[in-house]
Structure 1
Amino acid sequence: MKLVVRVKLLPTPVQAAALEATLHTCNEAATWAAEVAFEENARRPLELRKHAYAEIRFRWGLGAQAAQHAIKKTCDAYTTLRANLRNGRYGRPGSRRHTRASGKPVVFRPEAAQPYDDRMLSWQHQAHTVSIWSTAGRLKGVAFTGQDGQLEVLAAHRRGESDLVCQGGKWFLIATCDIDEAALNAHPVGFLGVDLGIVNIATTSDGERHCGRRINRKREQDRNLWSKLQKKNTKSAKRRAKKYAGKEARRNKDINHKISKRIVAEAERTGRGIALEILTGIRERARLRKPQRATLHSLPFAQLGAFIAYKAKRAGVPVVYVDPAYTSQECSKCHHTARGNRPAQGVFACRVCGFVEHADHNASHNIAHRGWYVWVCGARSTAPELTLIA
């Protein structure tokens, strides 16, 4: 099982300047390689290496490994772009957005992440330092820090490459770790259904609701503040906007970690699996008024589902995904399905058997039932192969 651990670097001013120059040089070389790949239609590492490797080493003075990584990063970027175009991320073929995305070379930001392998980066876990390659030479004794649990996982299970990232003037190393999976519970006694929503972020079939009203109000306040700062457009407003950049994403991530931890712990304690909804394409299916669209699009449902999945995988809890169609309109007792069963947003009242329940709680029961049927039919637990835990 692959997880990702992020540790914070604490470089001196001289080391930070060298790392910044390294990122700028590597990304400038990768942008040039992307232009060559676009012109020569060489989108695979071996093909692009013939056109760009020698020039990158000569013009930008990069080492052999850094030049190889710049070429590989370029090819990975085109692979991602091709997948996004195929999946409709940039609209339909022939549309303006689709044409603009596919009709020009990929461009890398000056501070985009740069991959490092074990030849370019070595870890001294006891001293909490790293030795890292840069265009100014090898930087030794660069300090790093992180939570104790994360550092233990890093020291015991790190495998493969690490990415150097600069975010908001702070430096991070993102390392991939390969952790042994816990033995899967192949005979769960049932399934814990989880219904995801806007008013209640997550509602379980045990009746636990993680309310999102206060969080949504805070999101609305942040959006209003951001809008005012953009309209003001002064130096002080820009400084304040930069200070708040990414605050909502960090808050959402913290909340999703806490919710997923509680859900997985409850399923593990009771010997059950977890049933989640398939939410692919929710933004295209949802029909909301314009003021509600920003709220829906800012909710990281996929992130919460990924956190639940990888935490469940570590605990040996099976996870299945079910079709969410009509779970909010189906009665969990008699299974009568009708739009009239939802007289209000938070109320479910069956018109056949008279069963009354909170709408999200009723939907979570239906998800749990469907999860059991999916498991009986031979489904297997699935979880992402790579998930950020720090």
Structure 2
Amino acid sequence: MKLVVRIKLLPTPVQAAALEASLRACNEAASWVSATGFEAKATSNRALRERCYQEVKERWGLGAQAAQHSIKKTADAYTTLRANLKAGNYGRPGTKRYARAAGKPLAFRKDAAQPFDDRMLSWQHEQRTVSIWTTAGRLKGVGFTGQAAQLTVVAAHRQGESDLLYQGGQWYLLATCEIAEAGLNTHPVGFLGVDLGIVNIASTTDGTRHSGRKTNRRRETDRKLRGKLQRKGTKSAKRRAKKHAGKEKRRTRDINHKISKAIVAAAQRTGRGIALEDLTGIRERVRLRKPQRVTLHSWSFHQLGTFIGYKAQHAGVPVVYVNPAYTSQECSQCHHTDRKNRPDQATFTCRVCGFVEHADLNASHNISQRGWSKWVRGAESQAPALALLA
């Protein structure tokens, strides 16, 4: 199982200037390679290397490995673009969106991440420093820091390339680690159903509800501040909005990590699997009032599901995804389904058998039952193979 661990670098001002110049040179070279390949209609790694390798080294002063990685990054970006175009993620051929995506060469931001292999980057874990290639020469003694658990994972399991990233005024290394998975529990005693929502971010069949009330109030405050800064439109307002957006994103990630960790731990402790709703396309399917749409669309349910998935895979907990249709309207006891079973947001009252339960808890029981049925029919865990630990 692969994890990507984000490690914070602590460069001196001189070291930071060298890293910035190197990252800019690599991305300028990648953008030139992209334009050259686009014009020649040859964007494979081999074709780009034959056309551009020597000039990239001479024009931007990149070493052999840095030049190779800049070219490969460009080829990989075009591979991803072609896959997205084929999948319809940019609309149908002939539409303006499709034409914009396919009709011009890809360009790289000056601070876009750049891969470094073991020839360009070495780790000294005891000293907590790295030695890294730059266009100004090899930098030695660049300090790094991180949570103790993260540093332990990197020291024991790092493999392959690490990406240099500049984000929010800070320098990071994204280290790819290969983690041994626990053996999959092929005989779960049941499934822990997880209902994702807005008032309660996640509710489980154990009766645990991860409340979103405090979070929603904070998000509402964030939205008002963001709107105020957008209306103001000055440079300082834009700068503050960008800084605030980073804080909001980190807060969401932290909450999702904590919720997913608790859910996986509960399932592992009791020998159960985890059943989640398949929320693919939820934004297009639901019909809500405008305030509800804003709330729904601004929370990263996909991220929460991904975190649950990779943590479950690491712990050997099976995960299945079930059809979410009518889980909130179906009685978990007699399975009668009716919109009138939900007299309000929090209450479920069955119109047939009279069963009364918290609406989210009732939905989690339905998800659990559907998860068990799917598992019995031979469903496999669908946890993702790559995730970011940060």
TM-score when scaled to structure 2? 0.97
Q: Which one-letter code corresponds to 1:360 in the other structure?
A: D
Q: Deviations over 1:323-366 (max 9, x none)?
A: 11221121111112222222222222222212122221111101
Q: Deviations over 1:1-60 (max 9, x none)?
A: 111111110001110000000111100010111112211222221122122212211211
Structure 2 counterpart of 1:50: 50
Separation of aligned partners in 2, 1:267 and 1:238: 44
Q: Deviations over 1:199-228 (max 9, x none)?
A: 211010111111112211211211211221
Asked if 1:189 corresponds to 2:189, the answer is yes
Structure 1 counterpart of 2:332: 332
Separation of aligned partners in 2, 1:288 and 1:44: 45
Structure 2 counterpart of 1:357: 357
Q: Which deviates more from structure 2 when the two are superposed, residues 236-245 or residues 127-136?
A: 236-245
Structure 2 counterpart of 1:281: 281
Structure 1 counterpart of 2:77: 77
TM superposition shift of 1:283: 1.1
Separation of aligned partners in 1, 2:109 and 2:176: 23
Q: Which SS does the other structure have where 2:177 is aligned?
A: strand
Q: Which consecutive aligned stretches of 4+ in structure 1 deviate over 4 angstroms post-superposition?
A: none
Question: Runs of 5+ in structure 2 lacking a partner?
Answer: none
Separation of aligned partners in 1, 2:308 and 2:176: 19
Structure 2 counterpart of 1:68: 68
Q: Which SS does the other structure have where 1:177 is aligned?
A: strand
Q: Which one-letter code corresponds to 1:389 in the other structure?
A: L
Separation of aligned partners in 1, 2:9 and 2:237: 29
Asked if 1:205 corresponds to 2:205, the answer is yes
Correspondences of 1:140-159 after superposition (within 5 Å) = 140-159=140-159
Separation of aligned partners in 1, 2:314 and 2:222: 35
Q: Which one-letter code corresponds to 2:174 in the other structure?
A: I
TM superposition shift of 1:94: 2.3
Asked if 1:217 corresponds to 2:203, the answer is no
Q: Which one-letter code corresponds to 1:304 in the other structure?
A: L
Structure 2 counterpart of 1:90: 90
TM superposition shift of 1:190: 0.6
Q: Which deviates more from structure 2 when the two are superposed, residues 17-26 or residues 280-289?
A: 280-289
TM superposition shift of 1:163: 0.3
Structure 1 counterpart of 2:24: 24
Asked if 1:378 corresponds to 2:378, the answer is yes
Q: Deviations over 1:67-120 (max 9, x none)?
A: 111111111111222233333333333222221111111111000000000011
Separation of aligned partners in 2, 1:276 and 1:135: 48
Separation of aligned partners in 2, 1:306 and 1:298: 16
Separation of aligned partners in 2, 1:92 and 1:291: 30
Q: Which SS does the other structure have where 2:372 is aligned?
A: helix
Q: Which deviates more from structure 2 when the two are superposed, residues 10-19 or residues 78-87?
A: 78-87
Q: Which SS does the other structure have where 1:32 is aligned?
A: helix
Structure 2 counterpart of 1:112: 112
Q: Which one-letter code corresponds to 1:72 in the other structure?
A: K
Separation of aligned partners in 1, 2:328 and 2:92: 31
Q: Which one-letter code corresponds to 2:370 in the other structure?
A: R
Q: What is the aligned-residue RMSD (CA, Å)? A: 1.4
TM-score when scaled to structure 1? 0.97
TM superposition shift of 1:378: 1.2
Q: Which one-letter code corresponds to 1:166 in the other structure?
A: Y
- Percentage of matched positions with identical amino acids: 73
Structure 1 counterpart of 2:344: 344
Asked if 1:172 corresponds to 2:202, the answer is no
TM superposition shift of 1:243: 3.2
Matched residue count: 390
Separation of aligned partners in 2, 1:354 and 1:38: 66
Q: Which deviates more from structure 2 when the two are superposed, residues 45-54 or residues 298-307?
A: 45-54
Q: Which one-letter code corresponds to 2:166 in the other structure?
A: C
Question: Runs of 5+ in structure 1 lacking a partner?
Answer: none
TM superposition shift of 1:237: 2.9
Shift in alpha-carbon separation, 1:89–1:219, aligned structure 2, 3 A: farther
